[in-house]
Structure 1
Amino acid sequence: MKTIKLLAFALFATTASFAQQAEAKPATVQVAPQTPSQLKWEKDTHEFGTIERNKPVSYEFTFTNTTKKDILLKDVKASCGCTTPNWTKGVIKPGEKGTVTATYNAASPGAFHKTITVTTSEENTSPKILTIKGTVQAEETPAPAAK
């Protein structure tokens, strides 16, 4: 009799552990639609053409604050460690210009395509993507010495 009671209890405990629970619904988050930045960029892509390996090259992207508010560049990130961004750090007042400089140091020969993502203090705006591209020439091998 003890065995039957113990078996019944074990069966009940096992059944209870597999009982379904109500699924928790994730909270819905309302995200405001993002619009393009109101900064006016002179260019958002730069083609370096053919460059030498291990010789850094830079390009300065220039923009104008066409909004009616002071703007800050909150974050500027490169897509890889081979590209270093430098940017206007202070407040850019309406009508003023600012810059983002991208310096690329090519370690490998071949084509490259790198991006720099610029996030501003503008509300509900999507980040601006700047692009640098080109080709790193392969190192020439010295010609064998003539005999």
Structure 2
Amino acid sequence: MSTFETRLAELGVTLPDAPAPAANYVPSVITGDTVYISGQISQNPDGSFITGKVGADLSVEEGAAAAQTCAISLLAQVKAACGGDLDRLVRVVKLVGFVNSHGDFTEQPKVINGASDFLVEALGDAGKHARSAVSAGALPFNVAVEIEGIFQIKP
């Protein structure tokens, strides 16, 4: 078990299999020491989607929990891109988080903190990253949150 996976286990998290793409795209692209992970959507461990508009159907706290599920899927995709070796991960470089919300909702950063806080707790300094948190009028399958990421890895 990798060092990062040991820490995840201490937090009670086991990485799932990397989710398969839902359309005509690849889950990750590696160029040099950078891996780009396609947007990961909020879903429960059983694969069901976490849906609804944050601020209307879901609270900010529920949205943050949904964002954490996206972060877990991002790490699963990084592990898959690295041939199953999560210890190739050097750091999280950037996240772009989309929150399914109405135009008057302004707490997107608090929602995406669910992913950011989790990554720092799980990865330490390697989890600190640049980030954007934006509103989306709708997301695929009506999911609450979608997050894409850029990661530095060991070649």
Answer yes or no: same fold by TM over 0.5: no
Q: Which has the larger radius of gyration?
A: 1
Higher relative contact order (CA 8 A, sep 6+): 2
- What's the TM-score once normalised by structure 1's chain length? 0.29
Structure ranking higher in strand proportion: 1
Structure ranking higher in helix proportion: 2
- What's the TM-score once normalised by structure 2's chain length? 0.28
